[in-house]
Each structure stands twice: as C-alpha cells, then as structure tokens.
Amino acid sequence: MSLADSLFGRPLATSEERAEHIGVSAGIPIFGLDALTSAAYGPETALSLLIPLGLMGVHYIVPIISAIILLLGIVFFSYRQTIAAYPGGGGSYTVATENLGTGAGLLAAAALMIDYILTAAVGVSAGIEAVVSDQPWLLPHTVMLCLIVLAVLAIVNMRGVKDTGAAFIIPTFLFVGTLLVTIAIGALHVFKSGGHPVAATEMPHALPATVGFLSLWLLMKAFSNGCAAMTGVEAVSNGVMAFRDPRAKNAQRTLSVIIGILIVLLFGISWLAKKYGIMAMEQDMPGYQSLLSLIVMAVFGRGWFFHFTMWSVFLALCLSANTAFADFPRLTRAIALNDFLPHVFVLRGRRLLFSYGIYALTFMTAVLLIAFRGRVDQLISLYAIGAFLAFTLSQAGMVIHWKKQGKAHKGHHWHMFVNGTGAIATGITTIIVLVAKFTSGAWITALLVPTLIVLMMVIKKHYRRVNGEVVEMYPLNLTNMQQPLVVIPMARWDRMTEKALRYALLLSNEIKVVNVIGADGEETLDNVWEANVLKPIRDQGLHEPELITLHSNIRLIINPLMDYILELEQQNPDRKITVLLPELVVRHWWEYFLHNQRVQMLKLLLLLKGKQRIIVVNIPWYL
C-alpha cells in the first residue's frame, strides 16, 4: 500500500458513491459539531463583554442566551422547511440565486465562504485554547499547535465523508456527554443548596466593576458576540445530498437532534455560570481559564473528570472545524458550476470529494490562524456576520419560493410566515452584529464580502468570453490546410533533439533548426550538421531542414529565439508555426528543478506573446 493510500484511503470508483452516504448518527458529528461546540465559547464571548460590570454582569447572561435560543428556534424551524423544499441541497447560495436573483446569490456565496473559513479558524483556535487552559505551558506554541491540528483535519477529511463521520462520532459524544453530566450534577448541587451552591475549589475573583449599569450598547455587543453560538446551523441544509435515503427526513432528524442538544448546552452553561457566580476572565490575564473550564472546576474540582472534560472539549472544538470542511467544498462546487469560481472546484478527487475546495479552505484558514495568532477573542470579532447574512438571504428566498408555489402547495401561507419571521429576525440580528462589532473587526468582513463578489463577477466575465470564442460549434473548417513551418530550438545534437527532428520530418517539409550562440561561446551544430543530419536525410530523399544560427551578445538565449519565431510568424501570415520543444521527463519531483528551465520559460513566453498561429508541442524524453 502506498503512502497516499495509507493517509487518504484507496481511490474510490464513482459507482461506490452510494456507500459513502451517511445516516443520522454520522451526520451529527459531520454537520453538527460546529454548532454543538459553539456552546463551549458562545456564552463566554457574550460574558467577556460584561466584564466591566464586575460580578453583576453574570446576572445578565441567562437573558442574553435565552434571546439567542429564541432566535435559534426560529432559524431551526425555517431550515427544516428549507430541507423539505430542497432535498437536493438547499444552502443559502442555491435558495437565494433561484428565488432572489444572481446578485443575492453572490452575496450569500461570499458571506458563506467567509463564514466557513472563520468556522474552521475559530474551531481550531478554541480547541487549542481549551488545552492551554489545562496546560498553560503550551501558550507560547499556540499558532504551531493550531496549524498541526488543521493539517490533521485536512488529512482526515480527504479520506471521505464516511470515514470522517466514523472518526468523529466518539469525540462528539464524549464532548456532549461530559458537558451534560456537568450540567446535570451542577443543577443537582444548585437545588440541594437552595440555589446557592459552593464551588468545589477556590475560583478566581471577578475584576472590580468599572461600569455602573448595563447600557444598550453593551447589551448589543454582548448579544452579537453570543450569536457566535448560532454559526453552523445551516450546514445540514447544505449537505442534504450526503445523507442516505430518505435524504430530507434524515437531514431533518439530524438538524433536530443538533438543535435540541445545543439549546440544553447553551442554557445549562449560562445558568450554572449565574448560579455559581462565575465571571469570564480576560484572555490576557495570568492564569487565564475559559468559562467552561471554570464551571467544570466549580462542579467537580480540578480532578480527573476536569482533565477528561477539557481534553474532550479540546478534541471536539478542533474537530468542529470539520463542518467547514464538509460544506465549503460543496459550496464552492455549486458556485463553480455557475462559472463564478474556477472550474477546478467541480473536480472530484480520489475519494469522491471536491478536493480543491479542501485545499483552498486549509490554506486560507492557515493564513487566518497565523495572522490572528490563533486567538479566539480576535477571530470572534469577524465571526457570525457571514452566517447571519446567509441566514437572512436564505429565509427571504424561501418566502419567494413558497409564494411561487401558491395554491399548488398546501399550507404555503404558513410556510411563508415561518420563513418570513426567520428572515426578519436574522436580518435585524445581522444589523446588530455588524454595528456592534464593526470597529472590533467586523469591518474586515464587511470589506471582504464585496471584494469576493467583484472577484466572482470577474471570473464569470472571463468564462463568458471563453465560451463566446471557443464553445460555439461550426462545421469543420478545411481551408488553409498547408503544412506548418516547424521550428526546433537546438542547443546541441543528442538523442532528445534527434527525436524532435524525426517528429518534425513527419509534420512538414519546411523545418528550421535554430541554434543560438551566446557570448560565452556555446558549442555550435556546424561540426555535426553535415554528417549526422543532412547525410542521412539525403540518403532517404527527404527535404533538408535549414540550420539557422543566431548570435546573442548579452548571453541570453531565449530573447533571440523569441524574436526569430515572432518575426517568422509575421513574415508568413497564412502559415501555422509549430515550435517543437525537446524536454526531459524526470523520475523524481526534485530532479525537475535541475532541468528544463529554459524550455519552461520559452514555453511560457510563447503562450503569452504568441497568437493563434503559433503552436507549441512538447517532445518528451523519459529518463
């Protein structure tokens, strides 16, 4: 078995695609881990903005999270309808494009692509943050650890959907199980103590209050940060095609389980933080602990269960980036099918995946992790805007969808009401999040969205021009069928150039062998031309090639060659010019750097400067 097979699995035939479809149990970790693990940092990101209120800020976290849960419920019912209406996969891009037009579709596409990249970056960095909470000595190595985890995630996802689901099931249930146990035991302590539980170990004291009351602006900022807990909800509707039949039903069941667990985790963690009086810590503080680690410490102390839970959280948070890996390639494929992204994103790899989407996501996530030093608090400022913008466009598109259905679909008025409510709620939230986070980093996302839209429109314009020039079919044109003028750049006479000349004799009776002599005194072909070339050709009665000797005073070989070929093209306006380039094909990749530099440069210049009548042909010599 090769190394590639060991890492990425054996190549799959297209006929094996059905075996790669998944059920609810595998769908939860693949499409739901991002949403579920947001419970580990969602309440903390909201509470961290209430730090200026001191310990009093803890009392506001439950109402804020409750508002987010209400919004989550609205989005949940909206997406259940989207899955039913689009069993072939109804992501925001598809829904918005079909119902609101191309412009809205591109807006959704740009927002979603940014959101998925941030999902991967936030998931990985939050996972490393959990480890650092348990092992503070790892803090200086945060970025390197993030990149290692990202590389592992990319390799696992390259193995295919089925293998990915199997690998992520245990970490997902460990994460959910440990947190549910924490919430259950914590709630038991609360009720046994009459609502005033005592922490199992001494807790860090909250910073003194610097603000006397909760302002509307502070409330908006806390709410917008907490909305990070809602990212990833759309993933199931994007990935309906990954489920086995009945696809829509399995996708709806998966979404229901994910949202149900997420609601319990969000409310439970926030409620325990309030009851135990645990305030979030500044990430720059010495001995920083995440809110989740403080809650687990308060309930169980710093024993084996604490360490087990934190490592479960680390594993799940790191793997939560998998939601982006599951959906980003599908999204880029859908966009590329409409010519708004390079067509390479449509191609499937060895495991029936859209591999180039995974490559692109991995690269851009790595850039983000390095740029923001793997810090969750800095990345979170860019987060959620793309998700809520996509939510809004999807729900607005569904309203138009049900309107088009009219009386042909029973209950279309109710469906319009549900999706309309979702569109209004998420639209208002998008504005709040954008305004509240704008100066903290949301301006970057707001700038990237239109930039991506312009880029996609430029790509579309290119493909439209290409289609206009080459795609339209005409009858075969048999005019001007003269033999081409053949040009062979030849530095010396060897087996490679002999192969090129033999091929040239099959193509044309007019062959020009060009030998460039530089100022350094390269060897010429004059000494061997008569005996090794012309004599065998005369003996066979073939047309003799012409030897053209060019001189270069500045040691550059390519420039005189290019000038000669372009001049030859101008002098022969009715002839094709075929340039044969002998080229070594080496056995090992590293040997490539030892050969062919001039050939590659000449080939590039001919492609860039040449016209339709210059044709470049490689003559390979295999070592």
* Residue 43 counted as domain residue: yes
Higher pLDDT, 281 or 564: 564
CATH of the domain at 55: 1.20.1740.10
432 vs 438: CA distance, rounded Å: 10
189-221 burial code (b ≥16 CB/10 A, e <16): bbeeeeeebebbeebeebbeeeeeebeeebbbb
Residue-wise pLDDT tens digits, 561-596 = 888 888 898 888 888 999 999 988 888 877 777 776
Give the DSSP letter string of 393-436: HHHHHHHHHHHHHGGGSTTHHHHHHHHHHHHHHHHHHHHHHHHH
Instruction: Determine the residue type at 151.
Output: A
Q: Are residues 491 and 457 in the same domain?
A: no
- Tell me, what's the pLDDT at 18? 46
pLDDT band per the 50, 70, 90 thresholds, residue 16: very low
- Tell me, what's the pLDDT at 459? 93
Give residues with Cβ within 8 angstroms of 584, minimum separation 6.
496, 595, 596, 620, 621, 623
* Residue 480 counted as domain residue: no
pLDDT band per the 50, 70, 90 thresholds, residue 90: low
pLDDT band per the 50, 70, 90 thresholds, residue 520: low
Q: Are residues 241 and 370 in the same domain?
A: yes
- Tell me, what's the pLDDT at 262? 92
166-175, 189-198, 452-461, 487-496, range with greatest mean pLDDT: 452-461
200 vs 208: CA distance, rounded Å: 23
504 vs 456: CA distance, rounded Å: 43
Q: Are residues 161 and 256 in the same domain?
A: yes
* Residue 473 counted as domain residue: no
374: left (phi over 0), alpha (psi -120 to 50) or beta: left
The last residue of one of the domains, among 431, 463, 495, is 463
Q: Are residues 454 and 493 in the same domain?
A: no
Q: Are residues 430 and 526 in the same domain?
A: no
pLDDT band per the 50, 70, 90 thresholds, residue 17: very low
- Tell me, what's the pLDDT at 12? 45
Q: Are residues 169 and 261 in the same domain?
A: yes
* Residue 475 counted as domain residue: no
Q: Are residues 341 and 456 in the same domain?
A: yes
122-136, 157-171, 225-239, 447-461, range with greatest mean pLDDT: 447-461
289 vs 309: CA distance, rounded Å: 14
566, containing H or E segment: helix 558-571
- Tell me, what's the pLDDT at 167? 66
Q: How many domains does the chain have?
A: 2
10 vs 521: CA distance, rounded Å: 53
Nearest to 600 by CA among 590, 585, 611: 585
* Contact between residue 237 and residue 95 where contact means Cβ atoms under 8 Å apart: no
Greatest alpha-carbon pair distance for the chain in Å reads 110
pLDDT surpassing 90 at residue 1: no
Residue-wise pLDDT tens digits, 362-373 = 999 999 889 887
CA dihedral for 119, 120, 123, 129, sign (positive or negative):
negative
Q: Are residues 406 and 290 in the same domain?
A: yes
CATH of the domain at 498: 3.40.50
pLDDT surpassing 80 at residue 67: yes
568 vs 610: CA distance, rounded Å: 11
Question: What distance, in Å, lies between the first and last C-alpha atoms of the chain?
Answer: 25
Domain coverage including residue 597: 485-622
CA dihedral for 54, 56, 62, 68, sign (positive or negative):
negative
Average pLDDT across the chain, whole number: 82
Residue-wise pLDDT tens digits, 464-474 = 888 877 766 67
Q: Are residues 453 and 489 in the same domain?
A: no
31, containing H or E segment: helix 24-48
The average pLDDT across 72-80 equals 85
Higher pLDDT, 520 or 518: 518
